[in-house]
Structure 1
Amino acid sequence: MRIRAGPGALDAALRAERPRTGNNLNHSINPFTVSVYPIQQEPGLWFANYMISEYMNGAERIVANVSMRHVTHCSEAAARHATRRAGESAAALMLRQQLRHRRARSAQRVA
């Protein structure tokens, strides 16, 4: 095996030799995922959309599709980064609301 020089090359080589078992899916308990789509409004002016999907019982459901036209950036990377943060924050809020709702329903069943 050929090892490339440079920072992180040894780590990359070790990962390449490691046997892959199972699947590569993210086994997160969060049912929400955020997708970000940067859009160039005009040269040098970017904004982005984000979409939040919920996976439940083997099906995907889109729960939010937000366009952040009011927040423009001078680069695609900046637009993508700001929109990803906003989308992940919204998804975290949805997860907290979902968990709070489930706890309230289970407390009603017990009482």
Structure 2
Amino acid sequence: MTEIRELDLSPFALTHVCGNGMSLVARTPLSFKPMLDETRQFICLRDENLSINVFAETRQKLSVELDEQILMLWSEYALAADDTLDGVAQRLKRRLLDIFDGAENAA
């Protein structure tokens, strides 16, 4: 039996992200407004300020995708040495460092 429910497009609130041995805490809660893609088959989240562009079939999967992308951005930009990043990447690094406090989880 298939259950049909109204699509929940309420904003995503993000206060922390954990995974890949890292724990990130937003200094102030972030909010992402989901929208449907042009095919109306995927829910999308976009944030140009953080270079986030994720999509998934369900809200739950979208939440996982968002966490994974933030962790990837943190690893690739926030933890990178400035001399390995171009100007655009350095600006993204600064935004990430301004928005999140990050720590490596003890194993």
What is the TM-score when the length of structure 1 is the normalising length?
0.36
Greater percentage in strand? 2
Q: Which entry has the higher C-alpha Rg, 1 or 2?
A: 1
